[in-house]
Structure 1
């Protein structure tokens, strides 16, 4: 038994009957359950009850056992002086208030349907399923799943917004600068994402604004700040960029990070940090007003066109500065651009519109639904449970469901869990 289950029963009044009584056999009528308190203090605030014929307005505290009141030292905390009812699963001790009167206690286990309790135990204490409802989720109504996934997607967007707003706070609300930082992070993918973000943060975006009209200077700036000119490599292009960076470093009083931050091991050549840095420089050289273009886009095909540039010259025949390779195009794949849409463009657009009070949820949903579903182990496991992800909205929502609900056994806060509990 958990206190969360007690909160759930109380909040939704899931009692076997309407005739409720305290341990002292006093009739209880719940007029208002109160507001669930997630902070310190009593569990429900501003509850309204009738105990016998007396109307009470105050707070409700809940415990597994009555004696937990003393175990948690509530008798010493003035925040609990306004408690009007103690709701417990098991009544094992009488609690006295400061006026030496016993605190009215409601032993809830006598009023809970055994089927509800059985459903709860099967969900919460199941150890054989990948997710608690693994054997039942495929039987859920489609409309329930669809509505819940949409809500979960926006929960995930809100979580991503927290990080974006932190970046905005450190850039004086400069959305262009934050776009550069977020794109850099995602160009680095999981392995090098943090290092790419560190690289982007090492350059005041004012410098990017000034130098983005010259691709050679912009490329030298990014590679130099990433520490790649610590080496001494004998080729003309490397020497040219190194010389260019030496001038820029002095001009802007820059401090580079270390090349050792970037990983090449076990990475596909297309994802080498050198290629991604060159592509990032080419992107911001090609599109001088990238942020305004992205904010006004509503179709993924338009994003594909925007990111259809190709790095030229030296990088056509190289993956690193050291060795030459077979000539090949170094374009961004559609699957890579999809990741940028999912993790940078849509979340940043959401925060931008939110800051202007112009959020159009339907437009956000329409855009994210155009993107193909992600492929990973979590999405594969849901497919085995007959839950198919049709687009990026659903794959993002399923990740949110697994990581923030199923793994944490938050079935009581889940629409699917609620449906199963009340069957």
Structure 2
């Protein structure tokens, strides 16, 4: 116990931290503190020096009228409420050693570094780091569940429809992900169910909704798709679809939206109850088998409707299936288990640990500091660490930062 005391000598204990405020106003709302024998409820403000209160003009701001504690590193002047009573002060330098403070300054005064702790990251114990990365992975999963929850609400709790929307987004990759999601959202999933028995009909539906059939192209495949889509458009009242424009620029041909849409059509033609099959599947090989799909015959020697190319089977690669597992399948399984009141965390950890690590600039940079990312479990966690902790200077909320400060 620190046996905290205010600068006036009264005992201080925290009953409730309250809510951390990331916007304008006091740093913590609705805190509860026991100061002396009095229980206080109100806000808490934090500064380096007491005099910063006046530097920031808080004395003229009504938002600070309900501050019950001023937490500072150094107390250099009294701060008063409007009724001239002194706001209690907690001076942190009385409780934190100078060596810890110097480490803190050293950690944060690193403007030219990729991350604050890059000089010391390699020294962190592997067991400690791996436990932290596991926690970060589930934190990332929970964030991905937010989109799933939104889609579940708009899809009237139809998990098959949610899966279709999530898969569509991932099939579109980073460049066309939002466009593919807008495509999936432009349709009631019942239309997909009614057309998936014939791959050509499902292709006509998806290509038509994206606007890819609006051109005047004279080949039989294109014309047949266009004719089928006109029929579907009238039958299912598909007027005025709000679908974002697809992009081909800077994409490898195998990632062209035409190829991915054909593969997505083949997947849903091949599996009538895909959601149930995904929930039942557990091993990596089961998922690889389930997603062993290819394009329709026309796309074996085309990447666009107009230009013919060398013939080749365009099947989903294992690396692409890994991407589907990371960004869609595992998050959907995780969210569904929560809705069922079940915990499948161990199964998820076992599965994600068998998927190869992603390769990108963030992972490469972490591996240069300490070769740690050996699976998608670590790569996903490191992305979470960089984006949500390192980039936001949340070292005090990070196990790595706390360990370095405590050494």
CA distance in 1, matches of 2:311, 2:298: 10
2:361 is aligned with 1:415: no
Alpha-carbon displacement from aligned partner over 1:217-258 (angstroms, at most 9, x marks no partner): 111111111111111111111111111111000111113659
2:46 is aligned with 1:63: yes
Q: Are the aligned partners of 1:88 and 1:107 in contact in 2 as well (CA < 8 Å)?
A: yes
2:348 is aligned with 1:348: no
CA positional deviation for 1:285: 0.5
Q: Are the aligned partners of 1:227 and 1:256 in contact in 2 as well (CA < 8 Å)?
A: no
Gap change, CA 1:234 and 1:420, over 3 Å in 2: same
CA distance in 2, matches of 1:174, 1:150: 30
Residue 230 of structure 1 aligns to a residue whose secondary structure is: coil
Q: Are the aligned partners of 2:80 and 2:87 in contact in 1 as well (CA < 8 Å)?
A: yes
CA positional deviation for 1:327: 1.4
Partner of 1:382: 366
Q: Are the aligned partners of 2:65 and 2:82 in contact in 1 as well (CA < 8 Å)?
A: no
Residue 228 of structure 1 aligns to a residue whose secondary structure is: coil
Gap change, CA 1:354 and 1:385, over 3 Å in 2: same
CA distance in 1, matches of 2:220, 2:61: 78
CA distance in 1, matches of 2:242, 2:19: 47
Q: Are the aligned partners of 1:153 and 1:400 in contact in 2 as well (CA < 8 Å)?
A: yes
CA distance in 1, matches of 2:296, 2:81: 79
Unaligned runs of 5+ in 1: 1-12
Q: Are the aligned partners of 1:188 and 1:196 in contact in 2 as well (CA < 8 Å)?
A: yes
Structure 1 runs of 4+ with >6 Å offset: none
Gap change, CA 1:339 and 1:42, over 3 Å in 2: closer
2:219 is aligned with 1:235: yes
Residue 343 of structure 1 aligns to a residue whose secondary structure is: helix
CA distance in 2, matches of 1:146, 1:331: 35
Residue 20 of structure 2 aligns to a residue whose secondary structure is: coil
Partner of 1:72: 58
- In structure 1, which of residues 324, 329, 342 is the aligned counterpart of residue 308 of structure 2? 324
CA distance in 1, matches of 2:18, 2:109: 24
2:294 is aligned with 1:278: no
2:272 is aligned with 1:288: yes
Gap change, CA 1:222 and 1:273, over 3 Å in 2: same
CA distance in 1, matches of 2:318, 2:344: 26
Partner of 1:167: 151
CA distance in 1, matches of 2:199, 2:5: 78
Q: What TM-score, normalized to structure 2?
A: 0.91
CA distance in 2, matches of 1:201, 1:223: 14
Q: How many pairs align?
A: 399
Q: What TM-score, normalized to structure 1?
A: 0.88
Say what the alpha-carbon RMSD is for the aligned residues. Answer: 2.3
Partner of 2:34: 48
Residue 398 of structure 1 aligns to a residue whose secondary structure is: helix
CA distance in 2, matches of 1:275, 1:298: 28
Unaligned runs of 5+ in 2: none
Gap change, CA 1:232 and 1:134, over 3 Å in 2: same
Alpha-carbon displacement from aligned partner over 1:270-306 (angstroms, at most 9, x marks no partner): 1111111111111100000001101111111101000
Aligned pairs (5 A) from 1:193-204: 193-204=177-188
Partner of 2:205: 221
